[in-house]
């Protein structure tokens, strides 16, 4: 192999890595656009549906409380991380109220999972949280539709 070939390949790899890092940085610093908001709401909504499925399967005794609480804990972290990402970005004035709603729904969700974690021993007592989760997910669906 000629040495020039090595330099071309090295330069190509460096360029590709550079473009990725630059691209990621650009995405991180720009104002939130419609697609970003839609993608974040979709993630929230998906976690809402997942919570629904988890709670239903827990009530049917198909999953253990250890699995349920740990999975909810992981979802909590994701919710928190998405909220932090949203707060760290520039937001257009027209999106303020919707993103405020989203942040509130996120807080409601986190409060709800805390309540579930406190009473996982009683499967039937999570009925009210199941309804609460449905309500949150419905509102997320509505918000998502605004950005489709």
Partner 1 sequence: MSSLIQITLGVLTAMGGFVDIGELVFSVQAGVKFGFALLWAVLVGAIGIIVFSEASGRIAAVHKKAVFEIIKDRFSKRVSILVLILSTILNILTCAAEVGGVAIALQLLTGLSHLPALILTVGVLILIVWTLPFNLLEKIFGLLGLGMVIFIAAVITRHIPSGEISSGLIPKLPHYNLQSIYTYLYFALGIISSTMMPYEVYFYSSGGIEEKWDPKKLIDNKLTAIVGMSLGALVSGSLLVLGADIFKPLNITPNLHGTSVLLAAIPFGKIGMIIALIGIIFAISGAALETCFAGAYNIAQYFEWRWGRHLDPTKTQKFSATWITIFIFSFFVLLFNIDPVDLVEYAVIFSLLALPFTYYAVLKVAADKRIMQKHASGNFGKTLGWIYFVLICILAIVSIPLMILTNMGKG
Residues that bind partner 1 (CB under 8 A): 1, 3, 5-6, 9-10, 13, 16-17, 19-20, 23-24, 27, 35, 39, 42-43, 45-47, 49-50, 52-54, 57, 60-64, 66-67, 69-71, 74-75, 78
Of 50 and 132, nearer to partner 1 (C-beta) is: 50
Q: CA 16 from chain center: how many Å?
A: 28
Nearest to residue 88, comparing CAs of 80, 2, 139?
A: 80
How far apart are the C-alpha atoms of 27 and 111, rounded to whole Å?
A: 31
In the complex, least distance from residue 143 CB atom to partner 1, rounded to whole angstroms: 14
Taking the complex as a whole, how short is the minimal distance between the CB of residue 77 and partner 1, in angstroms?
A: 9
Q: Which helix or strand (DSSP H or E) is residue 148 part of?
A: none
| Contact assessment for residue 32 and residue 89, using Cβ atoms and an 8 Å cutoff | yes
Task: Please state the closest distance from residue 103 (CB atom) to partner 1, in A.
Answer: 19
Measured from the CB atom, the residue of 47 and 109 that comes closer to partner 1 is 47
In angstroms, the CA 144 to CA 136 distance is 12
Cβ neighbours around 16 below 10 Å, total: 10
Supply the minimum distance, in Å, between the C-beta of residue 36 and partner 1: 8
């Amino acid at each position: 192999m000629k040495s020039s070939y090595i330099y071309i390949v090295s330069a190509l790899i460096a360029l590709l890595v550079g473009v990725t890092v630059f691209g990621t940085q650009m995405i991180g610093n720009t104002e939130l656009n419609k697609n970003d908001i839609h993608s974040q709401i979709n993630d929230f909504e998906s976690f809402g549906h997942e919570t629904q499925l988890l709670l239903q399967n827990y009530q049917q005794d198909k999953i253990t409380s250890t699995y349920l609480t740990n999975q909810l804990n992981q979802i909590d972290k994701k919710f928190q991380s998405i909220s932090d990402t949203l707060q760290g970005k520039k937001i257009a004035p027209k999106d303020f109220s919707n993103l405020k709603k989203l942040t509130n729904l996120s807080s409601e969700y986190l409060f709800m999972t805390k309540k579930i974690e406190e009473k996982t021993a009683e499967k039937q007592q999570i009925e009210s949280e199941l309804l609460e989760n449905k309500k949150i997910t419905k509102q997320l669906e509505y918000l998502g539709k605004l950005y489709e």
